[in-house]
Structure 1
Amino acid sequence: MLLYAPAVFFLLLAAVGVLRDRRRFSNAVYLGLALTFLAFALLVTLGKVDSVLAEVVLIVVVLAPALATLVLAGLLIANGFKMIRKEGRRVANLLSLLCGVAILAVVALLVAAPQADSPALSVVARTALLLTCYLSFLFVCFIGYAYLYGRLMPRQDVDYVVVLGSGLLGGTRVPPLLASRLERGRALYERQAANGRPPLLITSGGQGPDEQLPESHAMAAYLTDRGFPADRIVLEDRSRTTEENLRFSRELMSAADPDYSCVVVTNNFHAFRAALLARRQGVNGQVAGSPTAAYFWPSATIREFVAVLVAYKWINVTVCGLLTLVSVAA
């Protein structure tokens, strides 16, 4: 049973973290470590079983990641071309394509290094493998916990529903991505209003350099044009970033009621990172996600993950540096 002790230990850490505040990236890491140690323990246990079925399972477990890696690279590249076709050639739309190409490049490097008989190339390949494994582990933790976080239902007795802005189409119109957020915000409002305690809805978004009016004003107009009560809308029209969305909305809510509670609405691919930012900004509330087109998910998720890596840059730089030193010294 000692073989399973690390898995149980990290699972307990994850459970305690979720109970304390589920808006922590450490919860994702603890859960990822728990599943990793559990998988290792199961493989060791299975390796001790003398049967054909056990051998087949072990072979599948070894080969599946390699095959899955190649399939993933192909899917990412295909999605990248679809993003370019539908959304244009902005850098943000190239992320899935670049990620797929990078995976194939690492695979090619690992295959070529043993054949080249070059110590320097072997070090490069070994370093690339270690860094790829580290980043892949974090990415799996991120998307796995983000999925779980998105399944948790928000409170139904909040004082505010905060809808985050995302830019206007043509400088004046609400695009489908933002409309999805507004519709989810309205649904949360109506669900609570049906119980006799309608919250206030904050539309949060300032005016960008290419916009003719603040996003919050266009968002409010979108809602009122569809029958939403204007007297239940509060405008936050100063913010330019997600951090400012949350900080300025928090200031409005805490000024009206220091003991407020809220739910923040954004798109589902953005929900977990928004939750991490909400915790940093001291917002008293969880984050709910709205639906997003499937083709948009890969690039958007990669972008969110990169943003989380940057938010914890010193930890990640330190770990990557240590892994590089280990690889060079080996």
Structure 2
Amino acid sequence: MYFAVIAAIFLMVFVGLYVWDRRRISNGIFLTIGLFFVLLTILYVVLTVSDRHDVVRVIVTGLAIILILLIPFFFFGLIFGLIMNGRTMMKKEGKRLANLLPMFAGLGLLGLFIWGIAQGSFISSPPLAAIFAAIIMILTYFIFFFVTFLISSFVYQYNFPRYNQDFIIVLGSGLIGDKVPPLLASRLDKAISFYTKQLLKTGKQATIIVSGGQGENELTSEANAMRLYLLEKGIPEDYILMEDQSVNTLQNMRFSKAKMDAILPKYKSIFTTNNFHLFRAGLYAKKAGLKSQGIGSKTAFYYMPSALMREFIAIVMMHKKLNLVIVGLILLMFLGLFLISFL
């Protein structure tokens, strides 16, 4: 049972790293590989049993055939879903490039499928075949990375900080003029909920740090708009602290840390953001030297595909040197194979 041993090793490494620091993309890598070998172990056990039991063999064979037949439906369903989600995003959120990411992804997959069919049917060009194979290999790598990111993000959601916090950082996400939009309101409501529960359970009042500067199309700073929102919800002004200089998540964390350091030498803090942004915000908190963990607010379902794609692209850019090296090695490998074919 080599698969089981390998699965156990990867899962134990994941548990150790997760306990040490859950804000690591490597946690998701070890968990993804561990789960893959768990599936292989289950498959091996089922196939071994099916060699001795005709009924089990028939059931396993039937399920395998059904799954294989469902692959085309899943693939084209994914393409259709992504394109329709892009259409929904355009209607509800506007025709910004970020909102079109699901549509671009769906059209890209459709284009690759058509290219693959054409390549196998009537296009007989070795250079095009090599380029197609290289694209598929690079796409496979990024799909694995994306799955790893999704698993890391999902696992990080299960964070239950203790009700002993000194500070709650609320990360800004843009305004509509001088008004707090629903996305940002959900972050503030999450902070209010934690603040209230901590006060009821322990009697301790946390200071809420509203973090965000003023954008080009905004009539006031995000921090000030958030402060007014909290005041309307009944949070005492003495327990609201503004950080209104930051323009990105890393600065949110760094500038908020400076505010907290100036008030208390030792403190406990958490941050709130939307669930899709939680994992990347945790990475930035670590980069800023904060021990803070995050709690996520819910996001509208239709918004999630685009949001997760943006988060993934941001994670890729955080590790751009490593990703460029891997993509470069893949291209060099296919270039070498292409040159060898002419020798």
TM-score range, shorter chain: over 0.9
Say which of 204, 213, 218 aligns to 2:225.
218
1:201 aligns to what SS in structure 2? Answer: strand
- Comparing 185-194 with 142-151, greater Cα deviation is found at 142-151
Q: Distance in 1 between matches of 2:304 and 2:279?
A: 14
What residue in structure 2 maps to residue 16 of structure 1?
Answer: 16
AA aligned to 2:101 is L
Say which of 256, 269, 281 aligns to 1:249.
256
Cα contact 2:159–2:293 (8 A) shared by 1: no
1:29 aligns to what SS in structure 2? Answer: helix
Q: Distance in 2 between matches of 1:21 and 1:200?
A: 25
1:218 aligns to what SS in structure 2? Answer: helix
- Cα separation, partners in 2 of 1:310 and 1:7, compared to 1, 3 Å: same
Q: Between Structure 1 and Structure 2, whose CA radius of gyration is higher?
A: 2
Count how many residue pairs are aligned between Structure 1 and Structure 2: 329
Deviation, structure 1 residue 114: 1.9
Deviation, structure 1 residue 276: 1.0
Aligned 1:5-84 pairs, distance under 5 A: 5-48=5-48, 49-50=50-51, 51-84=57-90
Deviations 1:141-176 (A, max 9, x none): 211221221132233211111001111112x11111
Aligned 1:1-330 pairs, distance under 5 A: 1-48=1-48, 49-50=50-51, 51-115=57-121, 116-170=123-177, 172-194=178-200, 195-330=202-337
Deviations 1:214-243 (A, max 9, x none): 211111111102211111111111111111
Q: Structure 1: state its 5+ residue gaps.
A: none
Deviation, structure 1 residue 63: 4.6
Cα RMSD (Å): 1.7
Deviation, structure 1 residue 62: 4.1
Deviations 1:95-152 (A, max 9, x none): 1111111111222222222222322222122112211211111111211221221132
Task: Compute the TM-score of the two structures, normalised by the length of structure 2.
Answer: 0.91
Cα contact 1:260–1:284 (8 A) shared by 2: no
Deviations 1:173-203 (A, max 9, x none): 1111111111111001011111211111101
Q: Distance in 1 between matches of 2:60 and 2:156?
A: 34
AA aligned to 1:36 is F
Q: Distance in 2 between matches of 1:64 and 1:28?
A: 27
Identity rate of aligned residues, in percent? 37
Deviations 1:4-46 (A, max 9, x none): 2222221111111100000111101111111122223433444
Q: Distance in 2 between matches of 1:150 and 1:36?
A: 21
Deviations 1:38-84 (A, max 9, x none): 22343344444332222233334445444322211111100000101
